[in-house]
Amino acid sequence: MPALSRLQLALLIPLTLVWGLNWPVMKLGVADYPPLTFRAISIWLGVPVLGLALVAMKVPFKVARKDWPQLLWLAATNMFVWHACIILAVKHLSSGRAAILGYSMPIFSALLGAWLFKTALSRRGWLGVSAAALGVALLLWHEFSTLAGRPGYVALALVAACTWALGTQLLRRTTLTVPTLTISFWMTTLAAIVMSLLALLLERGQWKAPGSATWGAIVYNAVLIFGFAHAAWFYLARGLPPIASTLSVMLIPVIGVFAGALWLGETVHWQDWAAVALMMVAIASVLWPARAAGVSLSATATGAAGRPRV
């Protein structure tokens, strides 16, 4: 696994905190507000924030016509399904457990990479995936009876995670030549359109003015999630191998669980603490620097007399 650069690490730390804390924030935001409408408003307010970043950094907005089909497919797998399914799940599940189900994504990503793209995982990679899977199972220990009564919303969260896993694999392999920030801007804009259409079709009768808690959650999502976190994630997902980028964010559901316990009074059990250790193992398995090879390739390939070895 490649070591993270300073920029990647500088993006990963705030990304983890912002996304982890967002789970109870979303739960508060949709407590008495239609979830798809909440998501649509948040994304629309986040689009100009992201647009200003492109202008400030002199990043072009233009995408060639031939690249739009691929961009639409990336938006569908990374944004459309994820945002629609997960916000509905958050509405009806506890915030921490919705985070756990959503962040089963690295497990799906590893399996999809091996199945669809013939990606061979190292022993460290399998260790990380196994630790993440066991951590998810532990975090769900006390929720199986509750979740059994809401199988539809559990399924929505798992569909969201699986689709996002596919999107991460595709983003790493995209042939688009435009900057990642441009891709992020247009995927976010397209997601705003799709969420607005879904809200219009499914929630029009529930529309009302947001309350103060909902507005706070909307602003948090607009600025920190869609203005920063998504762009940072797409940069990491495009620049790192899928297994490294996905397992590196496994601390997010842990933060979601404990933030939900602190803010919303959700109970924390011993399994939650054990899961923290397992998530740290998963993160270390892909982010801990590998030992440098003792002999360079050139030295190995060339004999003492300077002649290539047979």
* Domain annotation covers residue 295: no
Q: Does residue 277 have a pLDDT over 70?
A: yes
Higher pLDDT, 286 or 240: 240
Higher pLDDT, 132 or 197: 197
pLDDT, mean of residues 278-301: 56
Calpha distance 259→254 (Å, rounded): 8
What was the pLDDT predicted at 132? 76
* Domain annotation covers residue 226: yes
First to last CA, the chain: 30
Tokens representing residue 276 in the block: 């923290």
What was the pLDDT predicted at 31? 92
* Domain annotation covers residue 294: no
Q: Does residue 28 have a pLDDT over 90?
A: yes
Question: What are the tens digits of pLDDT across the range 56-115?
Answer: 999 999 999 999 999 999 999 999 999 999 999 999 888 877 888 887 787 787 778 878
Calpha distance 238→171 (Å, rounded): 6
* Domain annotation covers residue 132: yes
* Domain annotation covers residue 310: no
What was the pLDDT predicted at 301? 41
Percent of the chain, pLDDT > 70? Answer: 83
Confidence of residue 127 (pLDDT cuts 50, 70, 90): confident
* Domain annotation covers residue 27: yes
Q: Distance of alpha carbon 214 from its chain centroid, rounded?
A: 22
Calpha distance 95→284 (Å, rounded): 25
Of 10, 242, 236, 219, which is closest to residue 112 (Cα–Cα)?
A: 242
What was the pLDDT predicted at 37? 97
Q: Does residue 303 have a pLDDT over 50?
A: no
Q: Distance of alpha carbon 191 from its chain centroid, rounded?
A: 15
**What's the structural domain count of the chain?**
1
Question: What pTM, to 2 d.p., does this model score?
Answer: 0.81
Q: Does residue 194 have a pLDDT over 80?
A: yes
What was the pLDDT predicted at 280? 73
Contact (Cβ atoms closer than 8 angstroms) between residue 42 and residue 180: no
What was the pLDDT predicted at 99? 84
- Helices 81-92 and 6-29: crossing angle in degrees, nearest 10, is 50
| Domain boundaries, position 154 | 6-288
Higher pLDDT, 246 or 183: 183
Q: Does residue 24 have a pLDDT over 90?
A: yes
Calpha distance 11→228 (Å, rounded): 9
What was the pLDDT predicted at 242? 60
Contact (Cβ atoms closer than 8 angstroms) between residue 86 and residue 29: no
* Domain annotation covers residue 135: yes
Q: Does residue 180 have a pLDDT over 60?
A: yes
Confidence of residue 144 (pLDDT cuts 50, 70, 90): low
- Helices 6-29 and 95-102: crossing angle in degrees, nearest 10, is 140
* Domain annotation covers residue 58: yes
